[in-house]
Chain A
């Protein structure tokens, strides 16, 4: 099963509209956006353009904040996080490709707070699936996917973007 590039671009446009509504309802102006490496950063690039945000896009690599580091080791391809703005007191839109267990978001929040204390954090994800292990929920979701436990959804990109569901052993 896979979603085509066109389907994903439509999903991201819908996410941008939902984000606009969410920010308006919450009274948030001038937010900053941060994408989580790697897929989250690809989705964030598009959302950042569609929302026409003033501040440059930030990126987070959560490798140094993973809770399973001693079990699976360090990813040698860590890309440095880059937050080209002051996080203190800002309204941050955190973007990821897939929300599953919630552990990536937890790690991203930990890292974000090492840069400062944001006023709010809004979570936007392209795909939300079940399997949460932590109490994390998205404010804006592209789509929900009902998957079996042995299924894995992966975003490939950056251009074109493609979502693939695969069975894992």
Chain B
């Protein structure tokens, strides 16, 4: 998917620090590692008696969701609140946009209220990119999912989950299973895994749910779940959208589960310590069996916790930037 302008000119400031987080694609490994390192520290904040740090005190963050997603919005909201920011949730169905106001007008009106960051979920690919192009200098844009393009914070929480359970990426074989064609999550995961230097990325899906150019992203393609799972360290299941059934890309839920559903028997083909992941919400008995989703190899609920930490990391990295002295930030000048 191509958008005008260079992603990294948009995403990084003149000092090479994160300004907006629109896509994982093209970001240097250094930035992704910084996100994971910072998120690691924020995991601990969630386990403290006071689950809050004062980092973004006085900042106002707007959750601008044009597409409903309770889970993603909630984790962004909680992340912002744990950083002590004030959070505004804009419900698109009651917003001025629904009355005909343009996206840019909405953005500029909210910026005029002295907001500092927009977390944007939009059904159109490139919406957050468009907002970043027009953002005031002090405002950051975080992409919380745009069309079929990208979902970078979801990909990074998956990377954090993998790193915390498996350590280094280079020796791992990771399989992504399901609707690769329509999945912004899969696209972002593939970019993140490749940038972090993972050993092998496999995609497993029926032909009708595979993009034609998927190998060019650095993946190995399988149309058989049994063959694709052999020897993998991590299995990432994708959510299957019901409308794919209706648009006749798949025969039936039952048949899909027979061929691509992750059961205990199929999982046994992967390495014995393979992790099972899923971005949620789960369609039990469609893409994954309950016994696997709730089984000992599943880290699905851990992903949810790590999602808050990753979003805290991204928000604080994007807000804590100004010319100069990140190098001197190790401690106060004494």
Asked if B41 and A78 sit within 8 Å, CB to CB, the answer is: yes
A110 to B332 alpha-carbon distance, docked (Å): 16
> Within the complex, which residue of A65, A79, A104, A152 is in contact with B53, where a contact is CB–CB below 8 Å?
A65
Of B97-105, B160-168, B312-320, the segment with at least 4 beta carbons within 8 Å of chain A is B312-320
Q: Is A167 an interface residue (CB 8 A)?
A: no
Residue-wise, chain B 314-330 has the 8 Å CB interface mask toward A (1 for contact) of 00110111101110111
> Within the complex, which residue of A63, A80, A99, A114 is in contact with B49, where a contact is CB–CB below 8 Å?
A114
Q: Is B2 an interface residue (CB 8 A)?
A: no
Of B32-40, B182-190, B225-233, B235-243, the segment with at least 4 beta carbons within 8 Å of chain A is B32-40
A38 to B331 alpha-carbon distance, docked (Å): 9
Asked if B330 and A77 sit within 8 Å, CB to CB, the answer is: yes
Residue-wise, chain B 179-222 has the 8 Å CB interface mask toward A (1 for contact) of 00000000000000000000000000000000000000000000
A153 to B334 alpha-carbon distance, docked (Å): 6
Asked if A70 and B332 sit within 8 Å, CB to CB, the answer is: no
Q: Is B333 an interface residue (CB 8 A)?
A: yes
B41, B48, B328, B331: which has the most chain A beta carbons within 10 Å? B331
**Residues in B whose Cβ lies below 8 Å from that of A114:** 48-50, 52-53
Number of B residues near A (Cβ < 8 Å) is 32
**Residues in A whose Cβ lies below 8 Å from that of B44:** 80-81
A152 to B45 alpha-carbon distance, docked (Å): 32
Asked whether A72 and B49 contact (CB < 8 A) given A98-B334, A154-B334, the answer is no
A38 to B329 alpha-carbon distance, docked (Å): 13
Chain B positions 1-47 with a Cβ under 8 Å from a chain A Cβ: 17, 34, 37-38, 40-41, 43-45
**Residues in B whose Cβ lies below 8 Å from that of A37:** 331
Nearest to A37 among chain B residues (CB) is B331
Q: Is A27 an interface residue (CB 8 A)?
A: no
Chain B positions 69-89 with a Cβ under 8 Å from a chain A Cβ: none
Q: Is A85 an interface residue (CB 8 A)?
A: no
Q: Is B55 an interface residue (CB 8 A)?
A: yes
Q: Interface on B for A, CB 8 Å cutoff?
A: 17, 34, 37-38, 40-41, 43-45, 48-50, 52-55, 316-317, 319-322, 324-326, 328-334
13 residue pairs bridging A and B, Cβ less than 8 Å apart: A38-B331, A63-B329, A65-B55, A71-B322, A73-B321, A73-B329, A74-B316, A74-B317, A97-B334, A98-B334, A99-B334, A104-B332, A114-B53
